[in-house]
Amino acid sequence: MKIFAAEQIYAADKTTIKKQNITSDVLMERAATRLFEWLHLRLQGNPVKIHLFCGIGNNGGDGLVLARQLKEEGYNIAVYVVRYSEKRSDDFSTNLERLKKREVTPDVLEEGDALPTISKDDIIVDAIFGLGLNRPPDDWVVALFEHLHRSRAFTLSVDIPSGLFTDRVPSDKKAVVKANHTLTFQVPKLVFFLPKTGIFTENWEVLDIGLDQEFLSTAETDYELIGKNEVLAFYEPRKKYSHKGTYGHSLIIGGSYGKIGAVHLAAKACLHTGSGLVTAYVPQCGYTPLQTNLPEAMVITDAAEKHISKIDFDIEPTVIGLGIGMGKDTKTVNALGQFLDVNKTPLVIDADALNILSENEEFLDKLPPRSVLTPHPKELERLIGKWDGDFQKLEMAKSFSQKYDCVLVIKGSNTLTIYDGKGYVNTTGNPGMATGGTGDVLTGMVTGLIAQGYPPLQAAIFGVYMHGEAGDTMVEDTGYQTLTASKLIEGIGEAFLDLFAVDDDVLADEE
């Protein structure tokens, strides 16, 4: 699913109004009707008090239309106009008049006014600012946001939590409404997925307001949300007359004394993802544990006992997963530099190999085109430098990926894959996966997909999705705290099966 920028959404509005020959007022009515339906379906006439806080722009207009529709259905509402500006949008004014005709006159809140009492059992509708926010809200508006937050009432934000910009991180956390749920129009917004802005809404949901489909399907966006539909398009079925050679040979290079487990996890995940053959290249201390515990994998050992001192092998792997548990011994650093001088095989690079690259920038020029780099935020910072906010981070990541022609997988709650100026936002995964070894599993999975012929970008996007899906499947049995990287590997099979699972509802319909 595409993630549109605010300007594109405004453009989609304009096109829709023109092509459907409607007024902006009709579009607002449609949008707010979706809000009403959502609430009415859940509340079924419940007399709970609903406080609707409306700004003076079109987000406020949505709130006023919703208030009118709730009033007509007999709900217990209180409406406030948050007058943060003298200006008013036309559709706001039209709907204010319509509301007054229904004998609802909103309280106008201005600087210095007493704030309404809100009980924790009430509902707040936040329609104060939408996509049009262009500067931080005034102090008294921030005080209102804090008042809403202190009430602990369920807060439903319209389109976007008020105070959240669409293209930058707010400098003051207090200056944003904390939403329990956001009902956003037509398309998800990028800010829902970034660590510093995603925190302002616990949940979000898209409401279809019938924007022009042609516009939506033909527009190019900088970001895309990756769910099952998107990755299904990448899936390559296993062929009947195939053999292990058909599915590539992955080489996992890494490990050091005390960190052989990382290679074990990566190699095992690589096998579970479908790589035809997997070989591990480890220091000698890794030989016995790997041969004993992972019989499917072959093992090549370095001359050194405890760390990699020279990367030298006589096999021809399809792809190499590099860096897990490898350490940064001087001999290992030199070994990596010499290896990169001659290597032409596609690479997936993680962990210590990333740190070595950060400390030896000249190595970056030696990477084969479209190498996949999988940093967590700290590794990313070492690679691309410090950033100021999530948006700058993304721009810096895009430049880095362009400069070195690499696929950058920024690991996090919503892992973001960057390539060729575009970002792919993953939707699977959960906090149970914040535990040692899950990154090694991801490296193994992406490596295993490239081994089977998936192009690096698709392998990264698909691997990240499957990794999260495996975690989501397993956490149902383990709970967050007990999910481990080994458990995650057990979930990879389920994640593949889930790609083609038929919904229970569909089966029920057929019966």
Ligand X SMILES: NC(=O)C1=CN([C@@H]2O[C@H](COP(=O)(O)OP(=O)(O)OC[C@H]3O[C@@H](n4cnc5c(N)ncnc54)[C@H](O)[C@@H]3O)[C@@H](O)[C@H]2O)[C@H](O)CC1
131 is in an annotated binding site: yes
What are the residues whose beta carbons fall under 8 Å from the beta carbon of 115, sequence distance 6 or more?
A: 109, 143, 144, 147
467 is in an annotated binding site: no
183 is in an annotated binding site: no
Residue 27 touches which of ligand X, K ion, none (CB < 5 to 8 A by kind)?
ligand X
Cα-based distances in Å from 120 to 150, 173, 349: 9, 22, 49
472 is in an annotated binding site: no
Say whether 208 sits in a helix, a strand or coil.
coil
- For the four alpha carbons of 11, 192, 115 and 139, in that order, the dihedral sign comes to negative
Instruction: Please identify, using beta-carbon distances, which residue of 64 and 483 lies nearer to ligand X.
Output: 64
Q: How far is the CB of 17 from ligand X (least distance, A)?
A: 9
126 is in an annotated binding site: yes
Residue 62 touches which of ligand X, K ion, none (CB < 5 to 8 A by kind)?
ligand X
423 is in an annotated binding site: no
Retrieve residue 361's tokens: 């920038």
133 is in an annotated binding site: yes
Determine contact, residues 1/225, Cβ cutoff 8 Å: yes
Q: Does 58 bind K ion (CB under 5 A)?
A: no
Secondary structure (DSSP) of 415-474: -EEEETTEEEEE----GGG-STTHHHHHHHHHHHHHHTT--HHHHHHHHHHHHHHHHHHH
Which strands, in side-by-side order, build the sheet including 49-54?
107-109, 76-82, 49-54, 123-127, 154-158, 179-185, 201-207
Q: How far is the CB of 66 from K ion (least distance, A)?
A: 12
Residue 440 touches which of ligand X, K ion, none (CB < 5 to 8 A by kind)?
none
Q: Does 447 bind K ion (CB under 5 A)?
A: no
Q: How far is the CB of 197 from K ion (least distance, A)?
A: 14
Instruction: Please identify, using beta-carbon distances, which residue of 59 and 427 lies nearer to K ion.
Output: 59
Determine contact, residues 278/250, Cβ cutoff 8 Å: yes
Q: Does 162 bind K ion (CB under 5 A)?
A: yes
Residue 368 touches which of K ion, ligand X, none (CB < 5 to 8 A by kind)?
none
The correct pick among 67, 158, 183, 408 for binding K ion (CB under 5 A) is 158
Based on C-alpha coordinates, what's the Rg of the chain? Answer: 27
Strand 2-3 to strand 223-226: parallel, antiparallel, or no bridges (unpaired)? Answer: antiparallel
Q: How far is the CB of 22 from K ion (least distance, A)?
A: 23
Q: Does 371 bind K ion (CB under 5 A)?
A: no
Q: How far is the CB of 60 from ligand X (least distance, A)?
A: 6
| Residue located via tokens 């410090």 | 386
Residue 133 touches which of ligand X, K ion, none (CB < 5 to 8 A by kind)?
ligand X
Alpha carbons 127 and 411: distance in angstroms, whole number: 33
Q: Which of residues 89-128 bind K ion (CB under 5 A)?
A: 126
Instruction: Please identify, using beta-carbon distances, which residue of 87 and 344 lies nearer to ligand X.
Output: 87
Determine contact, residues 138/172, Cβ cutoff 8 Å: no
In residues, how long is the chain? 511
Instruction: Please identify, using beta-carbon distances, which residue of 164 and 433 lies nearer to ligand X.
Output: 164
The closest of 411, 399, 284, 286 to 354, measured between CA atoms, is 411
314 is in an annotated binding site: no
Instruction: Please identify, using beta-carbon distances, which residue of 209 and 277 lies nearer to ligand X.
Output: 209
- Binding residues for ligand X, rule: CB under 6 A, are 9, 13, 27-28, 31, 55, 57-62, 84-85, 87, 89, 129-137, 158-159, 185-186, 211
Residue 137 touches which of ligand X, K ion, none (CB < 5 to 8 A by kind)?
ligand X
Alpha carbons 457 and 444: distance in angstroms, whole number: 15
Q: Does 407 bind K ion (CB under 5 A)?
A: no
Write b or e for each residue in 319-352: b if 16 or more Cβ atoms lie within 10 A of its Cβ, otherwise e. Answer: bbbbbbbbbebeebbebbeebbeebeebbbbbbb
| Residue located via tokens 């690479």 | 347
Stretch that binds K ion, among 52-60, 203-211, 411-419, 448-456 (CB under 5 A): 52-60
Q: How far is the CB of 152 from ligand X (least distance, A)?
A: 25
Instruction: Please identify, using beta-carbon distances, which residue of 134 and 330 lies nearer to ligand X.
Output: 134
Determine contact, residues 231/457, Cβ cutoff 8 Å: no
Residue 157 touches which of K ion, ligand X, none (CB < 5 to 8 A by kind)?
K ion
Retrieve residue 507's tokens: 């089966």
Q: Does 201 bind K ion (CB under 5 A)?
A: no
Q: How far is the CB of 275 from ligand X (least distance, A)?
A: 44
Instruction: Please identify, using beta-carbon distances, which residue of 96 and 226 lies nearer to K ion.
Output: 96
The closest of 378, 341, 336, 377 to 356, measured between CA atoms, is 336
CB atoms within 10 A of CB 12: 21
Residue 31 touches which of K ion, ligand X, none (CB < 5 to 8 A by kind)?
ligand X
Q: How far is the CB of 74 from ligand X (least distance, A)?
A: 24
Q: Which residue ranges are tagged as binding site for (6S)-NADPHX? A: 58-62, 130-136, 159, 262, 325, 376, 440
Q: Which residue ranges are tagged as binding site for AMP? A: 411-415, 439
Q: Which residue ranges are tagged as binding site? A: 58-62, 126, 130-136, 159, 162, 262, 325, 376, 411-415, 439-440
Q: Which residue ranges are tagged as binding site for K(+)? A: 59, 126, 162
Binding site for K ion (CB under 5 A): 59, 126, 157-158, 162
